[in-house]
Each structure stands twice: as structure tokens, then as C-alpha cells.
Structure 1
Amino acid sequence: MSSDFTTHEALEHCITHTDVPALPEPYKGKVREVYPLDNDRLGIVVTDRISAFDHIMRQAIPFKGQILNQLAAFSFEKVKDIVATHIIDVLHPNVTIAKKCETVPIEVVVRAYLTGHAWRVYKSDERTLCGVEMPDGLNEHDKFPSPILTPATKALEGHDEDISEEEILSRKIVEPALWNEIKEAAFRLFERGTKVAAEQGLILVDTKYEFGLYKGELTLIDEVHTTDSSRYFYKDGYEERQAKGEGQKQLSKEFLREWLMKHDFQGLEGQTLPDLPDEFRMEVYNRYAELFEMLTGNKFKPVLEKNFNKTLGEILR
């Protein structure tokens, strides 16, 4: 492992896939690769892949996996008094050992501002999102009177789909008592995330939570309050920018979505996924590193792995 490298080396040695012959084939998500270690534990590898509009980009982002994994570990630590988390240990900047949970097939997004997907729904003259009524008279990036919870089904392939609380319960996807526990945990987590962000000069705009059950206990899994699961505005100047009708300065993956839209891609049929230029890939890395440093108060120190699979095999075996 080395912390001395060139931009070319950083771009060349992104972690895009893993292979540990001594272990079973991992489950491959959009970003993570998950190895079953035994009946109770998983080895979770956070790669440098990046996705948007439910498509994985062909080019990866240097050190993105290290940033996400370490930011998630930092944020899990901040909320572990609210709900149990799946973290057992972080053995490498890219690798977490976690509890093996039974996944709840619903993810929940808590939104405090009319931004992103919520705004796209709102400006199409819809006022209901996942069964939740949004008030009239709002502008993009305005704050809701109080945070709203918008669930989605977890798709194994393709798009996650919005769903209402009523549908979740009527289709018996989640039992009522567990759903109430999830809702309560989600709002408490969002409150804590908002507080942590505010201390660092940021606004937590919206974020996604995923849950599982570990030996019957509700457990927070996947990631929490990272750039891939959350959107942040800069607190300084927010009111002034809203008053002028200007766009908000934000730290999130939205800038990648905006870049793709400028290049005529929104994941729709017939559209061609564009390649990410090297200069833009480094710009994305710098944005991820900036959020890590703002949220944690620590300098991000990237570590270059030229033979990550060998290192991973040693860790997981």
C-alpha cells in the first residue's frame, strides 16, 4: 500500500471488481461486493464504482470506496446509540466486517427539502410522493414544514420503485410493528445526521436508510449519511441563495446526475451511457474527499493498492 502516487496511477488502479478464489463468489451490488464469511459475518468491500440513474459508470472514481467506507464507519459510530448497526470491524480502508442480517425489502428516504427526485415530481404538478402530501407554493430547495419519509421497494435489478406506507402494510411487505420501529428509527437518525452536519457547516437535505434484522433485532445496514446515500447543502449562504432563486451549493452525487443529463443520459431506453473523462473523474474524487473532510473534521489520506485482490484475500482469509 502506498500514499505516494501520480494522478495517472490513481486512475489506473481503481478497484472495480474483486476476486478471492478461496472464498465463495461475492454478491455484487452497484458499489459493494459482499463475501459470506460464516453464518454470522460478511466481508463487505466498497469498490470505486459509481452509479447514477441505476447504471454503473464504465469508469471508476479513485479512492471513492475508501472515502465511502470510512465515512460510513464514522457515521455509524455517531448513531449506534439510536439503533443497532451491522458494523463489527473495519479492517482496511475499503473493507468492513459486518453482521449477516436478514434484509428488510424496503429502503426509506427522509427528505427535509424539496430537492432532487421530490422536486422532479413536484414540478410535474404532482403533490403526492409515496403517499405523502407536499404543500403548495414551494420552490426548488425550499425546506418542508417538517421532514417527510418516502419509502421505495428494493429492486434486485433495475429501478427501485416508490411505494406508500399504505401499500407496504396492505401488501404485508413489512409487519406493522416493525414498520413503526423503522419509521421511528429513521426520523431519529435523520435528526442526528442533521445535528452532525450542522456542526460542520452543512445541511443534511435528504438521505436513504436501509435496515435488516440480526437475531430479530432491527439493525442499520449498508451505509449511513455518506455522499452516495445523502445530499448536503452548504449552510453558509443557503437563505441568500434561496431568496435570489439561485441554485444551492451542494455536496452529493447530484452533480454527477446533472453532468449525465447535460450529456443526454438519464438512464432511459435508447440513451447511450457516456464515458467519464479523466479530468471529471478526479473532480468527482475531490468532491468526495471534501465532504469526508467537512463531515469528519479529518484529512482524507488516500492509500493506493496496486494488488488489492491479494491484500483482500489475506484480510478475509
Structure 2
Amino acid sequence: MLQRTLPHARIPELPNPYFGKVRDCYDLENNQRLLVTTDRLSAFDQILAVIPWKGQVLTQLARYWFEKTADIAPNHVISYPDPNVVLGRKLTILPVEIVVRGYLAGTTSTSILTQYRNGLRDMYGHRLSDGLKDNQALPEAIITPTSKAFDGGHDEPLNAEEIVKTGLLAKSQWDEVSEKALALFARGQKMAAERGLILVDTKYEFGTDEGGNILLADEIHTPDSSRYWITEGYDNAFRNGTRPPSFDKDVIRSWVVERCDPYKDKIPDIPLEMIEKTSRVYIDAYEAITGQTFVPDTGGATPLDRIRENLKSFFAV
């Protein structure tokens, strides 16, 4: 299993490459873009590990959610030429990442739990009351936007007033994306609850097409963009002050945080058993969220060979 990984999708025959933290992308003609989801796991603004099947899980799980939420927010997807690949509309990504949170949770420096523990009560344009406990449900879902760090830098907290005042988004754009984000989150929470899961928080990325229309981009409600807890174990964990059982990359993030300050220290090598466990978490997440059995695509000598074959029609002549 550990040999069937996709650490990168560098394909020289494809034009106009852009390599992100997790996705390797290629801009085509006619305002189209190929997005190849690799098995890289990113956290703390760096790559931590390569997780078998992760890219396929993310692509197929995002597909599930895109199809279930298209009535709320139109998205960038045109087709799926490979289990790890989306052919999408090329968008101009809005410079604000929309993070919606339903619980006082998180491990990163921009999470509301980290800031709350540090004594902050006013954050992202919201006022949180004193006396909240770790992982407690908020009275209502809130949006905690951050700047979109396109150059691999660190995202910074924002609020609605700053976003409009500085011109990052027009007021009409902010109103549209915030309304859609809250509606998407509500749909996600409802569907997750029906599957015995809690959608704790998530991030959305939006972009504009050549006509200025706002479309949902990237991914939606995957274990990379979202935090899921298992409903059955939440109450007991909350009472005991422990971390609820989860379906997200906090498995490795929490392991790292217990051993170092990931923003200052060298991160220890991730042990093989943690990589295997995380792969299983992604697969379990797919099956728990969708109710479908995950079927890994083992075509080709390697995942990259399979992807190259499936993308031949897009190769530059």
C-alpha cells in the first residue's frame, strides 16, 4: 500500500504548471484548469507526509459534496478525467479564505480555541463569552475569515469590516460568499448528523469566472478542509476534557503539536504507523460520510503513470 502513493504530479507535457501545497495544477486553453490532488498532507504551512490514497479520497469526497450542494453554490467542476483529477473552470480566486466554525476547536495559531486560550474574546469581528470550554458548541456558526496566502505564507485573521474597507472584496461579494458559506455549512452539518458525524468547522474558497460570477472552488467538506467528530464519542470526550474522536488530519497535527512548536521547531519525522493510521482515517472518513465503500484505483504501474495515461488528451502538441 505504501508504494501506491502520489507525492507529486509533475507532468512536463501539460502546460502552465502551478504547484500548490496539495494540488498540482495546469492551466489549459478556454479558461480551463486541471487540478491533480496528490497524497501530500499539509499543515502548519508545510508538507508533513505523503499518505496513501489520500488524493483519491479527497477528490471523490469533494465530488460527493459538490454534487450535493450545487443548488446552494455553483462550483468550478467540468469533469473528472481521473480519480485524482478535476477538470475545472479557471477562476480568479478571491483573496479571502472563508472559514466557518460551529465549535470552539482547533490547533493552529488562527483557530478560535488557540486564541481563546490566549485570553482573546474579540476575534474575527465576533465576541465570545467567558467560560467556554474546549470543543464546546458555539451558540451559532460564525465565519472567521483569513487572508489567502497565495505565496505559501501564513494566513492572517480578518473581519468583515476589514475585508470590505481594504477592498479585498466588494460588499456585494462579501455578502454573497458569506451567505453561501453559512448555507453550505448548514447543509454539511445536517447531512453529517444523519451519518452520525459532527461537522465542526470547515473552509471554503471562492473564485470568479471570466463573467465575474462567484463559484465555489478547490474542495468542500473533505478531511483536509474540514474537521469532523464522531457524534457517539463527543459527549463523553467533552465531559472529560479530551479530544473527541475525529475524521481529519488532526491525527498527525495533534501528534506534531505534542512534540514541538511546529511554527518554530523542526518537525520530527512522521512514523510509519502514523502514516498507515492516517490513510485508514481518510478511507474511513470517506465511507462514513458518504455511506459508500471506497474502491482504490490500482490501475497503472504507479498512480502517476495512470494519471498520465488518462490526461494524454490534454498534453501540449
Q: Normalising by structure 1, report the TM-score.
A: 0.92
Q: CA deviation at 1:88?
A: 1.1
Greater alpha carbon shift after TM alignment, 287-296 vs 259-268: 259-268
* Structure-to-structure mapping, 1:112-151, within 5 angstroms: 112-116=102-106, 117-151=111-145
Pairing partner for 1:34 from 15, 25, 30: 25
Q: For structure 1, which segment, 99-108 or 235-244, has the greater mean C-alpha deviation from structure 2 after superposition?
A: 235-244
Equivalent residue, structure 2, for 1:295: 289
| Native 8 Å contact 2:69 2:184 kept in 1 | yes
Structure 1 position 182, deviation (Å): 0.6
Structure-2 residue corresponding to 1:286: 280
Paired position in structure 1 for 2:238: 242
Structure 2: unaligned runs, 5 residues or longer = none
1:240 offset after TM fit, Å?
3.5
Query: Structure 1 residues 71-80 or 256-265, which shifts more?
Result: 256-265
The CA deviation string for residues 115-147 of structure 1, in whole angstroms up to 9 with x for no partner, is 012111101110122121112111001111111
Give yes or no for the alignment of 1:19 onto 2:10: yes
Verify the 8 A CA contact 2:252 2:274 in the aligned structure 1: no
* Aligned Cα root-mean-square deviation (Å): 1.4
The amino acid that maps onto 2:138 is F
C-alpha distance in structure 2 between counterparts of 1:89 and 1:280, whole Å? 33
Of 243, 250, 253, the residue aligned with 1:257 is 253
The number of equivalent residue pairs is 305
Q: Which runs of no fewer than 5 residues in structure 1 stay unpaired? A: 1-9
**In the TM superposition, what is the alpha-carbon distance from 1:78 to its structure 2 partner?**
0.8
- Percent sequence identity over aligned pairs: 40
Change (3 A) 1:235 1:308: closer
- In structure 2, C-alpha distance between the alignment counterparts of 1:247 and 1:312, rounded to whole Å: 38
Q: What is residue 162 of structure 1 aligned with on the other side?
A: 157
The corresponding residue for 2:184 is 189
Bigger drift between 249-258 and 215-224 goes to 249-258
CA pair 247-23 structure 1, distance change in 2 beyond 3 A: closer
Alpha-carbon deviations, 1:134-186, whole Å to 9, x = none? 12111001111111100001112221111111111110110001110011000
How much has 1:298 moved relative to structure 2? Answer: 0.6
The AA in structure 2 aligned to 1:114 is: L
For residue 23 of structure 1, what is the amino acid of its counterpart?
Answer: L
- 2:229 aligns with 233
Cα pair distance change 1:76/1:128, threshold 3 Å:
same
Query: How many Å apart are 1:243 and its aligned residue?
Result: 3.0
Residue type matched to 1:203 in 2?
Answer: I
Which one-letter code corresponds to 2:176 in the other structure?
A: E
Would you say the 8 A contact 1:20–1:312 is kept in 2? no
Q: Residues of 2 paired with 1:23 and 1:308: CA distance?
A: 17
Partners of 1:83 and 1:60 in 2: how far apart?
31
**Partner Cα separation in structure 1 for residue 198 and residue 133 of structure 2:** 17
Partner of 1:306: 301
TM-score if structure 2 supplies the norm length?
Answer: 0.92
Residues in 2 aligned to 1:255 and 1:279: alpha-carbon distance in whole angstroms: 12
Secondary structure, counterpart of 1:303 in structure 2: coil
Native 8 Å contact 1:87 1:96 kept in 2: yes
The residue matched to 1:196 in structure 2 has which SS?
helix
- The corresponding residue for 2:91 is 101
